[in-house]
Amino acid sequence: MSPVTDRKLLATVLGLRQERPPVWIMRQAGRYLPEYRETRKAAGGFLELCYTPELAVEVTLQPLRRFDLDAAILFSDILVIPDALGQKVRFEVGEGPLLEPLDAEGIDRLDKSRVLEHLAPVLETVRRLRAQLPDDKTLIGFCGAPWTVATYMLNGRGSPDQWTARRFALEQPEAFQRLMDILVEVSIDYLAAQLQAGADVVQIFESWALNLDDAAFARQVNEPNKRIVAGLRQRIPDAPVIGFPRGAAGNIAGYAAATGVNALGIDYAAPLDFVRNTLPKHLPVQGNLDPLRLVIGGAAMDNQVRAILAAFADRPHIFNLGHGIVPETPIAHVERLIELIKQG
């Protein structure tokens, strides 16, 4: 295995500032790439693509063939966890993920016993990726955070305000806690298995951390994420973890302190000065270009890229978007983005 310092992104997660920030892009294997669209068509469906190691490896590597990125992120989805627990999940073109909404009785029917068996194809993808990636490339595994995954499981689909899950958590706190306990347990198992299969670092995607008051944020975001990090490190001491609490706003410093993540992903709505002045100087940060600026390109992108680089020049920094790349993104703009980062 290559020394940690050869994998620049992993080294940054572990707190080593680089001469220029390493870069990867959330959803870098995605619909903005024509080769991805062709591979997904060949797979026949999104979950089939996630569960077919040969094809999942192919789409994971596609962006690295085009761009000088410092990391590959496993191609999968946060909703393979409810699928593995026995909740029916499907992906409809134009609608996104659709699930059979859970109630309290449905939570009690979830089956934890075969989760890793169900996800064996994903773990095989991780093993194949580590074997094929150059030694200097960091391999990122991931899972969805329990609150974020629960919002889909309870509502049956994504929602702008997570109303159904927020209401369920308040009205049926015991059933909600049972669901969170299940998700914490299987997430620890899943992330540990990814690291054992060859991932260098894992990211916890808390995509729906917004719309929660302080008490709910502490209970539904901080507490389960803390349990995942602690449980993972009981299995794998010093396991490197990136936390991405999108929409955490004023709770970002509390999240970092409570959870013990190595690095903190910053969404694009977080003001640069606020991040600089709020987070400890030693804490690595990741982010945070607005994906729309990458779509528009030109000065709208260039100026903000330079501002982000300047804002985080004195700390360990991984350059990324503040959320996932969108299908409308021109490939030439991604090339320009990486050129700007490499130039410093």
Give tens-digit pLDDT for 218-271: 999 999 999 999 999 999 999 999 999 999 999 999 999 999 999 999 999 999
Write down the catalytic residue from 32, 36, 51, 152: 152
Write down the catalytic residue from 7, 27, 166, 293.
27
**What is the average pLDDT score of the chain?**
96
Instruction: Yes or no: say if 341 and 45 are a contact pair by the CB < 8 Å rule.
Output: no
For residue 263 the two structure tokens come to 């690095």
152 in active site: yes
Would you say residue 5 has pLDDT above 70? no
What the chain holds in terms of domains, given with CATH numbers, is: 24-284 (3.20.20.210)
pLDDT at 70 over 60: yes
| High-pLDDT (> 90) share of the chain, % | 95
Virtual CA dihedral for 159, 46, 118, 73, nearest 10 degrees?
Answer: -80
Q: Which of 66-70, 158-162, 186-190 has the lowest mean pLDDT?
A: 158-162
66 is catalytic: no
Is 40 an annotated catalytic residue?
Answer: yes
Query: What tens digit of pLDDT does each residue of 11-61 get?
Result: 999 999 999 999 999 999 999 999 999 999 999 999 999 999 999 999 999
Q: Which tokens hold the place of 46?
A: 């999104």
| The token pair that represents 118 in the structure block | 């169900």
- Give the tens place of pLDDT for each residue, 314-323: 999 999 999 9
Are residues 224 and 147 in contact, defined by beta-carbon separation less than 8 angstroms?
yes
Residue 274 has pLDDT above 60, yes or no: yes
The closest of 62, 28, 129 to 338, measured between CA atoms, is 28
Active site residue 27: yes
**Which is catalytic among the residues 6, 17, 20, 31?**
31
Whether 276 is catalytic: no
Catalytic residue among 6, 77, 136, 181: 77
Question: Of 40, 128, 227, 246, which is the active-site residue?
Answer: 40
- Residue 99 carries which DSSP code? E
At residue 154, the 3 state secondary structure works out as helix
- Under the banding of pLDDT at 50, 70 and 90, the label for residue 1 is very low
Integer Cα distance of 80 and 87 in angstroms? 10
